[in-house]
Structure formats: structure tokens, C-alpha cells
């Protein structure tokens, strides 16, 4: 089971759809189980034969082997503290970007630990944290027949977590996983999302990342 914490949002629903389209069992988590159930139903209606359930965040964390954190940065520390005991020994994929908007321009805020993924690892010392999927458009993920053509840069200090995130990325046709080194490099991938959002605003599109030369 793949659990999506904060999975009622666009990014969580988009990843839920794509993982379920690849045949994986998915649980959408929420602070409110009714909201989760309704998000799960909404995503199930986007394609056929999708195994997607909804639950509160704690149940999603408890019942999943791999847990994806997809909340706004404002809720990052508190949601991790709430589900921490259910993440021991598990791979935790953090997609959170610490965005702030000033005068219509997206910026990434400075994180004391270096990156959001490092913050997660410091809160979850008994889990295997990986930063990934930061630069992928939820809008495109949520359209089942929309082709995806981008790289997903994956940062972790754990080979097990990195391999798990590589396998998750490979579930979505058109995504190439790229090894982005350790967690200390996740800040560059997280922050790059702010640039993509500004590019999106200028071009009216949903930009993503492709790295050439490798």
C-alpha cells in the first residue's frame, strides 16, 4: 500500500491516480476521513479499476509500506510528529516545497535543517527519508491520458529509500528517475520548484524538468 499524507490536495491526488493506474493499492490520507473518502472517490472516477481508499492520516501511515508526505510546508512538522510512530522502518517520500509568495512571485523559504527532506529525516530518525517528485505538475498528473515527460530528481542518504523512490517514479510512464545524491542536495530540487512556478505564470503552462547530458 502507498499512503499519501495530505493526499486530498492536487499533488497527492495526482500521484494517487498515477500509482493506482500502475496497479498499486493507494490510501489517501487527510486530517478529515470524510474528506479523504470523497477525494478517493473523485480520483477513482478518473479511470477504471483503481484501488484507492481514503482515511485519516494516521491510518494511512499505519497501513502503508511507503508513505508520501504531500502537505503544504506550514503543516510539515506537525503532520510528521503526528504520524511518526507509524513510520518507523519505512520509506518516507517527501514532496513538500517550502514556498512563499511575495507580490505574485514564488520564492523558496530558508529551512534551518538545510532542506525540507532533511527536516523530515531529523523528525523521523527511524525512517528512511527521500526527497522526490518536487518538480512535477499536479495538474498534468491529474489528467489520466496526459503524457508526462520529465525527470524526477531523487535525493536520499539511504540506498533503500532511493531505490524505492526510483521504482515509484518508474510506475509513471514518461518519468525518468535521476539520482540527485544525498538529502543535503534536496534543497536545490525543492527550491527549483519556485522557479518553475514563476515560469508557469509567464508562459501559462505547467513546466517540468529534464536534465540533459546524462
Ligand X SMILES: NC(=O)c1ccc[n+]([C@@H]2O[C@H](COP(=O)([O-])OP(=O)(O)OC[C@H]3O[C@@H](n4cnc5c(N)ncnc54)[C@H](OP(=O)(O)O)[C@@H]3O)[C@@H](O)[C@H]2O)c1
Site residues for ligand X, window 192-211 (CB under 6 A)? Answer: 193
DSSP one-letter string for 34-70: HHHHHHHHHHHTTSSS--EEEEEHHHHHHH-SEEEE-
Instruction: Write the binding mask 85 to 124 for ligand X: x where contact by CB under 6 A, - elsewhere.
Output: ----------xxx-x-------------------------
Count of all residues that appear for the chain in the document: 214
Q: Does 81 bind ligand X (CB under 6 A)?
A: no
Q: Does 32 bind ligand X (CB under 6 A)?
A: yes
- Nearer CB in complex with ligand X: 31/84: 31
- Nearer CB in complex with ligand X: 32/146: 32
Which residues neighbour 120 within 8 Å (Cβ) at sequence distance 6 or greater?
69, 76, 80, 92, 94, 96, 127, 129
Site residues for ligand X, window 135-154 (CB under 6 A)? Answer: 136-138
- CB distance 40 to 53 below 8 Å: yes
Q: Does 72 bind ligand X (CB under 6 A)?
A: yes
- CB distance 120 to 92 below 8 Å: yes
What residues make contact with ligand X under the rule CB under 6 A?
Answer: 6, 8-12, 30-32, 35, 70-75, 78-79, 95-97, 99, 134, 136-138, 193
Amino acid at each position: 500500500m502507498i499512503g499519501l499524507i495530505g493526499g486530498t490536495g492536487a499533488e497527492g491526488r495526482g500521484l494517487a491516480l498515477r500509482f493506482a493506474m500502475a496497479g498499486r493499492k493507494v490510501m489517501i490520507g487527510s486530517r478529515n476521513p470524510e474528506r479523504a473518502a470523497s477525494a478517493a472517490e473523485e480520483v477513482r472516477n478518473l479511470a477504471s479499476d483503481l484501488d484507492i481508499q481514503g482515511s485519516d492520516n494516521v491510518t494511512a501511515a499505519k497501513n502503508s509500506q511507503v508513505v508520501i508526505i504531500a502537505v503544504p510546508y506550514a503543516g510539515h512538522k506537525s503532520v510528521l510528529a503526528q504520524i511518526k510512530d507509524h513510520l518507523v522502518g519505512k520509506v518516507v517520500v517527501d514532496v513538500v516545497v517550502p514556498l512563499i509568495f511575495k507580490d505574485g512571485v514564488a520564492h523558496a523559504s530558508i529551512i534551518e535543517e538545510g532542506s525540507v527532506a532533511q527536516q523530515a529525516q531529523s523528525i523521523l530518525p527511524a525512517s528512511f527519508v527521500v526527497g522526490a517528485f518536487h518538480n512535477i505538475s499536479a495538474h498534468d498528473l491529474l489528467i489520466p491520458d496526459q503524457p508526462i515527460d520529465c525527470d524526477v530528481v531523487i535525493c536520499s542518504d539511504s540506498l533503500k529509500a532511493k531505490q524505492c523512490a526510483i521504482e515509484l517514479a518508474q510506475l509513471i510512464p514518461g518519468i525518468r528517475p535521476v539520482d540527485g545524491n544525498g538529502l543535503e542536495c534536496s534543497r536545490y530540487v525543492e527550491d527549483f520548484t519556485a522557479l518553475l512556478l514563476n515560469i508557469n505564470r509567464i508562459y501559462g503552462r505547467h513546466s517540468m524538468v529534464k536534465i540533459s547530458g546524462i
